Structure 1
Amino acid sequence: MTNFGICLLSCVPVRLKNSDKSEMVTQLLFGELFTILDATKNWLKIKITDDNYEGWIDKKQAVFLSEEEYQMLDRQPKSFCVDLVNLLEINNGLSQPILFGSTFPNLSENTFKIKDVTYTFSGYNYLPEKGNPSKELLLENALAFIHTPYLWGGKTPFGIDCSGFTQVIYKSVGIKIPRDASQQINIGEKLYLLPEATPGDLLFFGKTEEHVSHVGILLSDEKVIHASGEVRIDKIDHFGIYNDELKDYTHRLISINKIF
């Protein structure tokens, strides 16, 4: 067994422990690379290359890579699927579902190759321009997730958590951010007043910066988009998120971070 792998399924649950009954802490999406830290008969402990997040996956859901294959795929320019759901055609005549945020290495004329298998993707993809991420596209992608149900550990249009939402939306414009809100709050430039923020900035909520419990994306001067029960839009002010249905504040604002 090698020490490197890639996800070639639509999405794979990453669990806290090596058991199907264990909590799902995140998900792997198609094209995401990982290194292997440990293994049992049926499970692999992995570290996801993009964000260094660790967890366990079912060995049957992994595709192993040589170190040379891993390094080559990691170096190649990457396009990202920005359709919520589409199909990926495989050169054996079959196809498979593909989800928003999936990674396509070295995509050229709608095709790319992984381990001698040629894939064709005819949907909407985005190749980030180095040093020039698009705020407009980031907000457009965020709005596409409206009414996606909340799912702890989720990163897909079929279920997503608050920090999975912010991570995959930033990934779609070529910016890697950590997986959890408690990690995301430590990146970017800190702003101290809401009027200083611009759409696309990250907003953090909780008791204190050491006890962050929620994150969302500023949509406009008075609106935030976030995953709470579902991906939804609520009012935001210097106190926090105000839910019109409940007529109350649901999350206390503790930090504003500008990522780009």
Structure 2
Amino acid sequence: MSFVTCIVPAAPMRKEDAHRSEMVSQLLFGETAEVLEETKLFARLRCTYDGYEGWCQRTQLTPVSEEQVQQKTELLTGSWQTTITFNGEPMHLPLGSSLGFLADGRAEIGPFSYSFDGTPFDPSAAIVSESALKERARQYLNTPYLWGGRSVFGIDCSGFVQQVFRFFQQPLPRDAYQQATTGEVVGFLQEAICGDLAYFDNDEGRITHVGILLNNDTIIHSSGRVRIDKIDTQGIISGDTGERTHNLRIIKRNF
């Protein structure tokens, strides 16, 4: 097996090996992936964090050893934007980027090096609480919706949920319908608490949307932008228009 790590703030993962192909997800800086196959310009990858597969541009990646991947820590950037020094020049990283290769503030990855003189966020030390969950989720407020996005520069509904939960060492799959297979069912909306996940389906019954409940009548989710809306037993009600936008299917608890 061979592995790579992302060396840009956010690398698109595409459905096919072409720049015009649909972006299905992203690798954020420092995240690693197994190489499944390669073409001249692209590599098909399996992300080591969530197992998601897609094609990334090879110039946005650099090889790392399996040993480096195994020894990598879970350290993340904890600010909306973090500046590191990458090969002697500044690089601006989005919230939730991986700093797992750092040792004493410096990392060597292939022909590249980077340094960070701040304090990374350590998910292993995070305490799950209502205030902590709300504070982390609100960091993404007004981030534009982006299909396949996973950063404060653009994010989709399941990417938002996955990234917030990552700060509390609660790994989730990449897509909403996959996430819905995890956790324990909450029988009634009135029993929901902060951090429970609400899932919504389309007319065919397929789960297509997810958000984080802040309490039993308020949800934060990525729809147009990361926003806070009201929710009732039928679904989400837009605070902008008063219209019902998503039909509630199920509520799950992961913490």
Cα distance in 2 between the residues matched to 1:9 and 1:207: 35
- 1:69 CA drift (Å): 2.5
> Cα distance, 1:102 vs. partner?
0.7
CA deviation after TM superposition for structure 1 residue 46, in Å: 0.2
Aligned positions, number: 253
Listed as ranges, the gaps of 5+ residues in structure 1 are none
* Aligned partner of residue 252 in structure 1, secondary structure: strand
Distance 1:107 1:127, change over 3 A: farther
* TM-score of the two chains, using structure 1 as the length reference: 0.90
Of 86, 89, 92, the match for 2:82: 86
Q: CA deviation at 1:238?
A: 1.0
Q: Once the two structures are superposed, what CA deviation does each residue of 1:158-180 show, in whole Å capped at 9, x if it has no partner?
A: 21111111111111222211110
What is aligned with 2:180?
A: 185
Q: 1:121 to 1:255 in 2, by over 3 A?
A: farther
Aligned to 2:212: 217
TM-score by length of 2: 0.92
CA deviation vs aligned residue, 1:114-148 (integer Å, no higher than 9, x gap): 3373411426x321236954543222111111111
- CA gap of 1:108–1:37, structure 2 versus 1, over 3 A, is closer
Q: Map 1:20-169 to 2 at 5 A.
A: 20-73=19-72, 77-90=73-86, 92-105=87-100, 107=102, 111-115=105-109, 117-122=113-118, 125-129=120-124, 132-169=127-164
SS at match of 2:249: strand
Asked if structure 2 preserves the Cα contact closer than 8 Å seen for 1:207 and 1:254, the reply is no
Task: Please tell me the root mean square deviation across aligned C-alpha atoms, in Å.
Answer: 2.1
Question: Which string of whole-angstrom CA distances, capped at 9 and with x for unpartnered residues, describes residues 49-107 of structure 1?
Answer: 0000000001111110122223222xxx32111211120124x5322111111111265
Deviations 1:25-54 (A, max 9, x none): 001001111000011111100000000000
Tell me if structure 2 keeps the 8 A contact 1:89–1:121: no
Identity %: 37
Checking the alignment, whether the CA contact within 8 Å between 1:8 and 1:63 is kept in structure 2 is yes
1:51 maps to amino acid: D
Q: Which moved more, 1:40-49 or 1:58-67?
A: 58-67
Unmatched 5+ stretches in structure 2: none
What secondary structure does 2:236 align onto?
strand
Counterpart of 2:24, as a letter, is V
Residue deviations 1:200-256, cap 9 Å, x none? 111100148961010000012311001111111110111110123322211111110
